[in-house]
Amino acid sequence: MISAVKKARIGLLVYSLLGIIAIGATYITDFVKNDTITWSGYVIAAVPVVFLSILPMCFSIKYNKLLSLGILSAASLGLLYLFDTVTPGITWFGELAFPIAVQALASIWISGITLRFVRLNKWFLSAALLAIFGTGLILAISWRLDNFIEKGAPPLINIIGIFAVAVTAAALCILGYIQITIKHRKADAQRAAEIKADSPAELKGSNIAQQPTH
């Protein structure tokens, strides 16, 4: 069975190859069209951030998942700020991107720590966390957009977002129920096999005890 560290290393290798291809393709396309780096700079900056976030998962160190999440959190905020500074026009980082990103990252951190230390069914727990934080994040994004955009965010965005959260949470609950059902069936089958294995020995002992003595 492949360990989690080996899986992470294989995933990082695949991502590195795809990242190099993505950087090269976007840079060449951008340079041919604009004779300089414009939109391809976003890809060139984002690919190393994801690489650094995955990197701690490739080593058998304590809390490597939390370390990866920490790198991703800090790098994501820095990347958003960088995008805002190099994008001409309206400044959107402080009023829009930063508060939404902080809430999203806080939700991910709380969910990750809860899933790590709370001993409940992970599928049901994930569904509950998604319903709480997903709905809250959608409503917060809508509220921020209403204050940032003159026309406000279309109500359909909230409906679609909350519907997607509800469907995903329901799917997680179904998977949790299937997992529990399979676990119970395996336990019942194992108990039945143990009883069946013990029965011949008990029957044999009973027959020996019932044999008449001469």
Residues 55-109: pLDDT tens digits? 877 777 677 777 888 888 888 888 888 888 877 777 888 888 889 889 998 998 8
* Domain edges within the chain: 1-89, 90-209
Comparing 111 with 67, the larger pLDDT belongs to 111
Dmax (CA) of the chain = 109
Q: Indicate if the pLDDT at residue 1 is higher than 70.
A: no
pLDDT at 110 over 70: yes
58 vs 168, higher pLDDT: 168
Amino acid at 46: A
Q: Number of C-alpha atoms within 13 angstroms, CB side, residue 183? A: 7
Q: How far apart are the first and last CA of the chain?
A: 60
pLDDT tens digits for 149-165? 777 677 788 888 899 99
Cα–Cα distance measured from residue 99 to residue 148, given in angstroms and rounded to the nearest whole number: 12
Q: Which pairs from 197-203 meet CB under 8 Å and 24+ separation? A: none
Q: Output DSSP code: residue 150.
A: S
